[in-house]
Structure 1
């Protein structure tokens, strides 16, 4: 007779658990914490990046925020771009501007629309505290496809 025990990882906090790709789980404020080019054929952004794009940003762009607001009955989902605590020249700290609308599918496909232009992304990680997205298409190189990733930490 074989007995199989289930393992419950009590050390894993709710903020670290992978969430379903739904509007409710994505809605909120997300502060950018990283932007990088991944390794060839690494569609999840798990390997050491080939290029740290975030390090090249001005300090005033490193704490930018994206806000996903779930739809009301009258309107669609909207997203906003926010300036963090450190504002660049001619910007106002802690301010937001509406950019467009968004949708998310259970598969992880995230579409952001602005001025009749769609930007397709893939959500590769969504927890209570962390979000990692990549552009849907990457750059084809001889070694394989290279994707650009952006990571966020939930700020609200």
Structure 2
């Protein structure tokens, strides 16, 4: 009986370790670009200019825009809320733990509405203005979007990216 327990214990530990690694791997899997996968609170963690013609934002950025932000803007958030029945999806701008002058920490302000397509096109609307973005990466914990149109320069088109981590 003791020999059997000695053989089973390493096997059980290997199974538990494999399950733990699967959980970590599932956080890195690119999800479908759907409303259900986008809803939630996303804290901004990076903003950068990509390399020319790097529409996926996978190459080393040419300029880190995030370091230029005031500390009170570095933990800003976006909250995507899915519509109930016939209403439109709404999004909110959130102020993080560190608030700028005349702001309230951990508060949200409704900005407008949003839609997402399976192709990854994300549109945010406010005051009759449409802000088109492309979702480059969407996992259970990470979101990276870029402006739909970039800036044409002599070396090619350069896009700006914003990266978020899921807060809830």
Q: Give the TM-score band, short-chain normalised.
A: over 0.9
Pair 1:11–1:81, CA change in 2 (3 A): closer
Give 5+ residue unaligned stretches, structure 2: 1-20
| 1:85 equivalent in alignment to 2:107 | no
Residues 11-35 of structure 1: CA deviation (Å, up to 9, x unaligned): 7522111100000000000000000
- CA–CA distance in structure 2, aligned partners of residues 26 and 33 of structure 1: 17
| 2:49 match | 37
Larger helix proportion of the pair: 2
- Taking structure 1 as reference, are residues 25 and 34 closer, same or farther at Cα in structure 2, changes over 3 Å only? same
Residue equivalent to 2:62: 50
Partner of 2:10: none
1:115 aligns with 2:127: yes
SS at match of 2:37: helix
Counterpart secondary structure, 1:60 = helix
- How far, CA to CA, are the matches of 1:71 and 1:39 in structure 2? 36
TM alignment of 1:1-156, pairs within 5 A: 10=22, 12-156=24-168
2 CA distance for matches of 1:39 and 1:14?
29
The number of residues matched between the two structures is 148
Give 1 or 2 for the bigger CA radius of gyration: 2
Partner Cα separation in structure 1 for residue 156 and residue 123 of structure 2: 24
Query: Whole-Å Cα distance in 2 between the matches of residues 112 and 13 of structure 1?
Result: 30
* Unaligned stretches of 5+ residues in structure 1: 1-8
* TM-score scaled by length of structure 2: 0.86
